[in-house]
Amino acid sequence: MTLRLATSEHRLAPHLLAKGGPGGGAQRTPGETLGRAGDVHVTRHQRITGDTGSEQIASGCSRLEPFFVDYLGLYQSHAEDLPVIHDGEVFGVDANGELIWKTNRKRRIKGSFETSVSVRCDGHTVSFDGNVSRFGRSNNVFGFDLAECLRRVNEILAKLGLPPFTWGRKFYRPKKSTSNGVLENTGEVEECWTGARITRIDLTANYGAGSMADARAYMEWLAAQQHSARVKVDTYADGETVDWGRGSRRVYAKCYLKSVELAKHGAPAHLVDYCAEAGMVRFEVTVKATQLISMGCQYLGSLDMHQLELLFEDRRAVMGRAEHSTDDLEQLPNHFRRTARDYLAGDDLAARMSRMTFYRHRQALLPYGLDIAVKRNVINFKPKVRVIELRPLSAPSWYQFDERKSA
């Protein structure tokens, strides 16, 4: 069986790559359409809203972008007094009953179609967490770009009497580090932004295998693909979901059969049928706070969509390793090639190899998309070549982006 991932339709929207001016421009609300660069100071990061924002909002996710956004985690502090919004307090006390710490619980904001997001405000800091592409909609098979997601988040905040998340302004402050438990200046400066900070962003894309049978065969193959030696692959739900990096504080990725997930949650039958007939395979990448900080993208104002695209493409590369057919193994020395053949046949290599030999062979085979540490379930195919080609899926003409109802 040969599998192939088509990627030719993926291009980053030109306005996301535009070079911008200095970062000291006027503070602007996400989702607001920007004027020409000559009218205001606009950074390249602010251009994720772009002059085409209204068109993207009307059509959902821009077709030029390689992904749409699902989940967002944000917070922003304000100097002025704001309404206190929470769902009670959680606190800890010591052995003598003295209060050690306390924090406000996030309030669950309910939307239509049994959806919800979380909002909290302690009087100065506003935080938001939730799947904004799903909120108020019966499904999020196809979602929205970042600009539209931010507009929807700010719409929720406005209904609660809270100010919107903003890009903010760039400034510099002395960089500090801890030495022997003491916080000291390093003599360097670091770039910071006022405005909102991002704690999590989920990037999502849909691909079609052409049929449900091919989608399941693809997932079976994918279950044996390792992103890297440090990122473990795992499967669950009878092989209907494959993930990498579960429990990581940086990046978590997963791939699953969308029609199965929709059926479990009682989605409309016509939508389940569409996803099944297309053999829809959903790929999601969760980028967490630690990774965003290492990329310099923890501030909304400093968010670099090009870096997110590169990260997404790096994690998505595991989906395309099916281009390494078994013929590629001919390049290997005989002893490694025999190990690969035995693994593909379903043999339990760990049971008949020494630990040292097993891991030496594993390292040799990882560049070929084979991880012999992952248990392989063998499926017998007909003795002919079957090509499964994944293609990016865009929303059909009948798909409704605007079904959202008031919360």
* Angular region, 356: left φ>0, alpha ψ -120 to 50, beta rest: alpha
For helices 355-365 and 334-344, give the axis angle rounded to 10 degrees: 90
- Per-residue pLDDT of 231-247, as tens digits, reads 677 887 678 999 988 88
| 80, amino acid identity | E
For residue 177, what are its two tokens? 């580090």
Residue 317 has pLDDT above 60, yes or no: yes
d(CA 281, CA 283): 7
Q: What pLDDT does 379 receive?
A: 53
Judge whether 199 and 73 are in contact, CB under 8 Å: yes
pLDDT band at 401 (very low <50, low <70, confident <90, very high): confident
Closest CA to 369 of 245, 241, 216, 221: 221
pTM exceeds 0.85: no
Residues ≥6 apart with Cβ < 8 Å to 310? none
Tens of pLDDT, residue by residue over 43-75, are: 333 333 333 332 322 333 344 457 999 999 999
Taking the mean position of all CA atoms in its chain, how far away is CA 39? 34
Q: How far is CA 342 from each of CA 201, 283, 337, rounded to the nearest angstrom? A: 41, 30, 9
pLDDT at 28: 52
Strand locations in 113-232, DSSP E?
115-121, 125-131, 170-179, 182-193, 197-208
Closest CA to 332 of 323, 321, 341, 322: 341
The residue with greater pLDDT, 324 or 298, is 298
Q: Is the pLDDT of residue 195 over 80?
A: yes
Q: Which two structure tokens, joined as six digits, stand for 65? A: 């972008």
Residue 189, C-beta contacts closer than 8 angstroms, at least 6 positions apart:
172, 173, 174, 175
- Residue pair 11/396 in contact (Cβ under 8 Å)? The answer is no
The strand pairing partners of 189, in sequence order, are 174
Is residue 278's pLDDT more than 80? yes
pLDDT of residue 169: 92
Q: pLDDT, tens digit, for every residue of 334-352?
A: 788 888 888 887 788 888 8
Q: How far apart are CA 25 and CA 43, in angstroms?
A: 8
Give me the sign of the Cα torsion angle 244, 261, 147, 127. negative
What amino acid is encoded at 317 in this protein?
Answer: A
Amino acid letter, residue 78: H
pLDDT higher than 50, residue 282: yes
Whole-angstrom distance between the N-terminal and C-terminal Cα of the chain?
Answer: 48
Task: Write down the pLDDT at residue 324.
Answer: 36
Which residue has tokens 């025999």?
338
Longest alpha-carbon distance in the chain: 74
